[in-house]
Structure 1
């Protein structure tokens, strides 16, 4: 599954986009034929150059340019032995030449200086061009009498962009992206540069509706150049208000528009609402829509709705209960961006492990992310558990109980759990038993869950060896919250029952019983009868057995927990 080509470079660790998406193309073509560059040229820039507030126009230059590595400017071949100061002088002269060039095409001195100081790749391109020209023997004689600064100016003129290219780089675009976009901004017009600066300032300021004027502005322009010809206020404000109504948190609206900018061109009544209503067939309620949009804004795309029908038909053919496939889509709408042909591959591997029909429904409803895995990634996890000594039946049962494990990364997740278990004294031979009894341990976060729980048990007087022994006997131990389970039950054990902490080492299952429904009632019964007991004797019997042994009349003491 691939992200929209332009966004992929910038949001590679975020949401992935649908392969069927029709709005982003590598050539940055506009969605509508009426919006092609040729149609834009007559009236792209609609107002004369205003006085600019450069604190807004260039406020994010230093931030946005962090995504570009500083450009090292190579000296000319004839100056290869010059000192660094000489090379620095050449760069300085090039900046001055570009600043003068920008002023020639309408930028103010302040604007020109700011742009020329923030377009390192453009400067490097001009300097390299001058050096290449000087290297041609046929032109060397003529070039010797022309000063370097003038050569840079002439090279810039030959590019023909009239200052648009360095300006686009200065607002955060890469030089390659700026080159692709520059052709949309009518450089043939004499006042193209000042009008572009004005338009960028207006668009950047209009983004206050998204909660930020500057963050990722370059990314947005790069991925959706049509933004520069939209009436921003009338487009953005209604969309923002609508997204709030359907439950999208204000702080997430900006991300939705940055990830899926074509939404700004959609009509709420004729495009957005009908598409969202299409999800009613899988039980999506109004309260679900906001969550789905935050996770995967591409659900607004027409191509995604086409894929929704194909995915539902596929799971119907696989005899997966509709409730399960619907739950998978609601909880992880990213699967709508996956083609059915790719999904079939992972389903076939699951089928070999006897995960079919209702079992498959449980797996995808619990861990829909698994549908986005490649077959070889699933098989790598299977091999991981085989190497631990688990047979295929045990692995299949583990998959059925905790499918999240099989969507986990081996290096970042599973190996870390093995290392943790080894550190508390659990040998490799005992790992299969731990996994069979409590596979969920392998999806617990080590730093935020397992280590804090282990530290708490050590703080109250147990050793690391004791904890390891308890986990071997009762694997779910470290799955319990300190505040909700471990601490209150230990405090009752020590302060009320007056028993030593080490009692839980012999019977760690103590933590699995309800404090209010089982531990307290049974303790008070035994205490009232002055009966000595171990934790296992108090809690290991069911209610009928406990009543028969300790009360004597067969009365059920408490409802089964």
Structure 2
């Protein structure tokens, strides 16, 4: 009879029978968690990782002396120290407004330096470029306020309700924190802190080898009766064969405990085989299990068959359905009536058949969107002057827009565009040409690119003019596109930076395949021409106009 002593469990969980043990690994594990049912652009890449989790950080209040010492230790001078302390106080006030106690708020801000620095940098950027007009703060002139007040309003405007600094304080990096915060957007921070504290069902129990195992045994005691050699060991090996890393097997089991009782031949393999209908097999199954362990439950498999039948009737290509399921298997837990109602909404703006397939392949989580939230975005686009057909084209091109919050994301982007000089008359055209602007991060994407262009000598007005003429301008990476092409323009072509104001489409051409070859041809012939004349013509016209022949010559090495 199997009767392990829980207090004596070793670091590596070991379940013994009279003759053979099986190892399920260290239960004090770095855990990847996903929270199904929320709507975000890149579900296939992000997990909540509790590696190096130290819950005691939440309740060990750092003294003011320790805070100051930490700043100085990391290279800050006295002025920097004061700025950081002011910013921390502002963030702490935001947390306290959300119901977090003063002590907990101080603990959180003391352990979220990257979040605090991000806010300070954001304030400095807005100060430097005089962009505070796009911010409204209860009628106050934000530009004239102290740094502390500006940080306070910026933290409030971000709308994360203190979730980002809290997640950083428990060890998550900023990228993961941002994604996880979206999943937890409906959760109040004080409630989440209480859940972290909770002994039973608390998330912190996943970080304790003893507690997690004890409660697993409490809930599923018959698991101790399973044969080790002929069941548990084979199950772990099978998961490895289909792409679940050995160290993450316990994650699948903890998130979906019934799976440990499944018979591999009778239950698991037949259900996995069902996915071959959409060419999902092998390691893809393992990745799906890590995202949504319920995917091989009997009820999900039944619903999967109905989902396939539905999309076949809608003439959606199986390849698109396959991609949607692989990247976001949570849709298989959604009722057909819910999926049908969303597909009908898409159909009303002309997104059907193949176009529908592209949308669900790109953003399958939209199928789980609430009706009123989707319609809010449609109404927002209509207010900008787009008709149904245009909205459908935008949905097909950039479905992430329809997963965004109107108030917290889309309207804020409009304020930013207006503040840099994009008038309402030009706004519709700019968005139609490059709708991705509406889901580009202001602080991490748009502002840094605008800041770089202005550093090269262009004015804010000139940058706005370039965006009006060529909407994707601020969508280009500084390091990969803007900098190398401007450096070639100035240093090699010996043209002024201002030339790109007249022809911002210059940035859209390949440096190696078009800009350099054509420049060297013109230079070899001693020909001077504008960027538009150099790049705007097709190969045949360029050769005819500048070379007197009907085809492009090979440029010199």
TM-score interval for Structure 1 and Structure 2 normalised by the shorter chain: 0.5 to 0.7
1:497-512 correspondence runs (5 A)? 497-512=493-508
Is 1:452 equivalent to 2:448 in the alignment?
yes
Which is higher, the Rg of structure 1 or of structure 2?
A: 1
Instruction: Report the number of matched residues.
Output: 374
Q: 2:370 aligns with which of 374, 394, 401?
A: 374
1:388-426 deviation per Cα after TM superposition (whole angstroms, max 9, x unaligned): 222222212212222222122223332232233223221
List alignment gaps of at least 5 residues for structure 1. 1-10, 18-58, 71-168, 179-203
Q: Deviations over 1:464-508 (max 9, x none)?
A: 322222111111112222222122211211111111222112111
Partner of 1:468: 464
In structure 1, distance between residues paired with 2:210 and 2:554:
59
**Conservation of the 8 A alpha-carbon contact between 2:350 and 2:388:** no
Residue in structure 1 matched with residue 545 of structure 2 by the alignment: 549
Q: Measure how far apart 1:238 and its partner are.
A: 5.1
Give the counterpart of 1:217 among 212, 217, 220: 212
Q: Distance in 2 between matches of 1:221 and 1:269?
A: 28
2:36 to 2, 11, 15: 15
The two structures, once aligned, show a CA RMSD in angstroms of: 3.6
Match of 2:223 in 1: 230
In 2 relative to 1, CA 505–340 (structure 1 residues): closer, same or farther, beyond 3 Å?
same
Higher RCO structure (Cα 8 Å, ≥6 apart): 2
Asked whether the equivalents of residues 543 and 558 of structure 1 are also in contact (C-alpha less than 8 Å), the reply is: no
> Does the 8 Å CA contact 2:413/2:442 hold for their aligned counterparts?
yes
**Corresponding residue of 2:396:** 400
Q: 1:433 aligns to what?
A: 429
Q: Match for residue 496 of structure 1?
A: 492
TM-fit CA distance, 1:383: 0.5
Gaps spanning 5+ residues in structure 2: where?
1-31, 39-52, 61-99, 102-194
- Judge conservation of contact 2:244–2:290 (CA < 8 Å) in 1: yes
**Distance in 1 between residues matched to 2:420 and 2:210, nearest whole Å:** 45
Partner residue, 1:340? 336
Match of 1:416 among 412, 417, 434: 412
TM-score of the pair, normalised by structure 1? 0.60
Q: Which residue in 2 is equivalent to 1:352? A: 348
**Secondary structure of 1:230 counterpart:** helix
How has the CA–CA distance of structure 1 residues 557 and 295 changed in structure 2, closer, same or farther, with 3 Å as cutoff?
A: farther
* CA contact 1:517–1:558 (8 Å) conserved in 2: no
Q: Which residue of 2 aligns with 1:173?
A: 199
The one of 446, 455, 477 aligned to 1:481: 477
Deviation of 1:449 after TM superposition, in Å, equals 2.4
* Aligned-partner SS, 2:422: coil
Matches within 5 A, 1:211-360: 212-214=207-209, 217=212, 221=215, 225-231=218-224, 234=228, 239-249=235-245, 252-360=248-356
> Given that residues 60 and 214 in structure 1 are in contact (C-alpha distance below 8 angstroms), is that contact kept between their aligned partners in structure 2?
no
Say whether the 8 Å CA contact 2:350–2:389 is kept in structure 1.
no
Query: What's the TM-score, normalizing by structure 2?
Result: 0.60
321 and 391 in structure 1: CA distance in 2 versus 1, 3 angstrom threshold: same
Deviation at 1:529, TM superposition (A): 1.0
What displacement does 1:385 show? 1.0
CA distance in 2, matches of 1:373, 1:491: 45
Q: Structure 1 CA distance, aligned partners of 2:550 and 2:210?
A: 71
